[in-house]
Amino acid sequence: MSKFKTNHLHIICDDLKKMKDFWTHGIGAAFREDRSFGGAAGAVLQLGELQINLRVPKSSETKIEPNKASLGYDHMGLEVDDIESACSHLATFGCSIEAGPTELSDRKIVFLKGPENLTLELIQFLQ
């Protein structure tokens, strides 16, 4: 069987500058470069081993209305060392708590709604 490893996450967004600011200043991803993706303006960021590609919609693409239930991508999980501090920090970037925090046996989780309705799950493992 082939071995798999994470390579990149590609996010299409309306406001490229706001999304770049959120991922770099809010989450701590490193900005690598501005890049065009198939003729659409974009940027490449790095978060640990994960490359994050951001781009605006191509003229040929149709937007999905926010908050419509659909199959496919649901959320991205990010591990943090202090969930309350992370929530407070991300609130300054417009994130709001959707559910939680919830304490499970070995972790605490919270779901946030971020820019352009991006859903994030923050996970703090308990000692």
pLDDT in tens, 68-105: 655 566 788 999 999 999 999 999 999 999 998 999 99
CATH class assigned to 74-127? alpha beta
Q: For domain 1-57, give the fold.
A: 2,3-Dihydroxybiphenyl 1,2-Dioxygenase; domain 1 (3.10.180)
Percent of the chain with pLDDT over 70: 90
CATH 3.10.180.10 positions along the chain are 1-57, 74-127
pLDDT digits 0-9 by tens, 61-73: 777 665 565 556 6
Q: Are 126 and 101 in contact (CB under 8 A)?
A: no
Neighbours of 105 (CB within 10 A): 5
Structure confidence at residue 74 (pLDDT): 72
pLDDT at site 72 = 63
CA-wise closest residue to 93 among 41, 28, 7, 3: 28
Q: Whole-model pTM above 0.95?
A: no
CA distance 109 to 13: 26
